[in-house]
Amino acid sequence: MYTASDLRKGLKIQIDGEPYIVTEFDFSKPGKGQALYRTKMRNMITGVQFTQTYRSNDKFDRPNLEERTMQFLYAQDNEYHFMDTSSFEQIFLTREQLGDNLSFLIDNMEVQVLFFGDRPIDITIPTFVNLEVTVADPWAKGDTSGSDTKPVTVQTGFTLQVPPFVEVGDRIQIDTRTGSYITRVKE
Amino acid sequence: MLDVHGLQQRSALLQAVRSFFRERGCLEVDTPIRLPVLLPEVNILPFASDGWFLQPSPELCMKRLLARGCTDIFQICHCFRREERGRLHQPEFTMLEWYRTGWDYTDLMQECEELVNVLAAAVPDLPGVPPGPAIRRGGCLVDLAPPWERLTVAEAFRRYAGVEARDTLAAGDFDEVLVTLVEPHLGCERPVFLSDYPVELGSLARKSAADPGVAERFELYIAGIEIANGFSELVDPAEQRHRFSGEITAIRARGDTAAMPERFLADLERLEPTAGIALGLDRLCMLLLGRATLSDALPFSCEEL
């Protein structure tokens, strides 16, 4: 069990049988008054957010959450199939569940799949991924009039700004937290 | 955590506080911070220390010094309160507390105005102090020129929440209404003294002669942040014992221990009419130094230890 005094940003708690993550938290205590824990939470399954003020004697269950390393196998229609690399068990998540992760997800990538009980609800992809550039304007060498960056598209369909020397067929490293270019990768 | 320059400014503010009170003839005292018995207050959770307690406030010892014949005293000390952590809370914090014999709470409001103005001017180039005198925080530019606003709790609840403070107290959500609806409005253009709290919320404060339902207690707010809590002290030992009984019952109902502070009550017999105030010095430093959180205004926050 957690008590209200355990609440903090990022804490995962269970309310009415569903897992929630604390997204904003503020402790208040008016002089001579009670401690108030003002909390904004997101339902980890539905994404619905709500705010609630708790007091010291409020208690919360710990949600049964577990992360497993799994490999992305293939997508079929709206289903994205993953395999547990140790047990070979297969599961799938929907396009909606994966959200922005799809910008960086490629075949055979190893990700962390978050389970609530035996139900997969979310994935965490690596912080840095290497993706192949599929669309880019050619680099006009010696062009000093142009800007410092240009847009390119990578194999997942994601577009980002990169230095002008990046060309189609190059592999580039991307920070998946920000979607920004890190470096060109030599392989 | 403060950098070296911030530490120098904080030190200069501490020196300015001492000069302010010494010039006014107040005696600096340093009372023990580890105590065998506390003033029972249901909403303050003390840290235990080998069978005794770390002080949540220096009030007990300072009033006992007043009973011994001191008249005007001040103290800068560390206080400890369990389970208080947040943007504006740390479980260990620095309190400036002072007492003025023969004064009432309105006299202390005026001295607060003078103190904050002196501090804002005492240290050059404080990041939170634009010319004015003023304090800048977020979207607030708080004009420090006295007199500051005086607002009763009853008026504030009607104005900002459209409810009667008494009704919220009966319904058990006085604190929620205060924090969510009222506090954000307090002291954004100029500081405000929120005063005349329901008597149930000032167990050490004197009842108002004009309205026995309220206590002569105030809180100073600057930019929506509570900075200080002052009151005309309750100096009637029988009345004080009665109010402590209620607090002790509530503390025991929670499963904690509390005892009647008998030496304190015996000393209270000899107390003259007095006004006392506790000011959160870290919070004031935070405002004057233009820092976002309490942690940013300290040498170390508890998270950095």
Record: contact B84-A30, CB cut-off 8 A? no
Please tell me the predicted confidence (pLDDT) of residue B159. 97
Record: contact B86-A36, CB cut-off 8 A? no
**pLDDT tens digits, B80-105:** 999 999 999 999 999 999 999 999 99
Strands B192-198 vs B149-152: parallel, antiparallel or unpaired: parallel
Please tell me the predicted confidence (pLDDT) of residue A146. 61
Record: contact A35-B183, CB cut-off 8 A? no
pLDDT confidence band for A138 (50 / 70 / 90): confident
Q: What is the layout of strands, in order, in the sheet containing A180-185? A: A159-162, A150-154, A128-136, A171-175, A180-185
| Average pLDDT taken over every residue of chain A | 92
Please tell me the predicted confidence (pLDDT) of residue B234. 96
- CATH fold of B4-138+229-304, please? BirA Bifunctional Protein; domain 2 (3.30.930)
Average the pLDDT over B58-62 and give the result.
98
Record: contact B179-A5, CB cut-off 8 A? no
Please tell me the predicted confidence (pLDDT) of residue B182. 96
Record: contact B83-A53, CB cut-off 8 A? no
Please tell me the predicted confidence (pLDDT) of residue A119. 93
Average the pLDDT over B120-133 and give the result.
90
Q: Does B85 touch chain A (CB under 8 A)?
A: yes
Min distance A82 CA to chain B CA atoms (Å)? 39
pLDDT confidence band for A31 (50 / 70 / 90): confident
pLDDT confidence band for A57 (50 / 70 / 90): confident
Determine what percent of chain A is predicted with pLDDT higher than 70: 96
Mapped to the 3 state alphabet, what secondary structure does A120-176 carry?
A: EEEEECCCEEEEEEEEECCCCCCCCCCCCCEEEEECCCCEEEECCCCCCCCEEEEEC
Cβ-based contacts of A2 with chain B (< 8 Å): none
Match 């005292």 to its residue by tokens: B29
Q: Which residues of B49-78 are buried (b: 16+ CB within 10 A; e: fewer)?
A: eeeebbbbbbbbbbbbbbbeebebbbbbbe
Q: Which two tokens stand for residue A24?
A: 């904003």
Cβ-based contacts of B176 with chain A (< 8 Å): 36, 53
Could you give the CA distance from residue A182 to residue A186 in angstroms, rounded to a whole number? 13
The residue extents of the domains of chain B are 4-138+229-304
**pLDDT tens digits, B242-280:** 999 999 999 999 889 999 999 999 999 999 999 999 999
Q: Does B174 touch chain A (CB under 8 A)?
A: yes
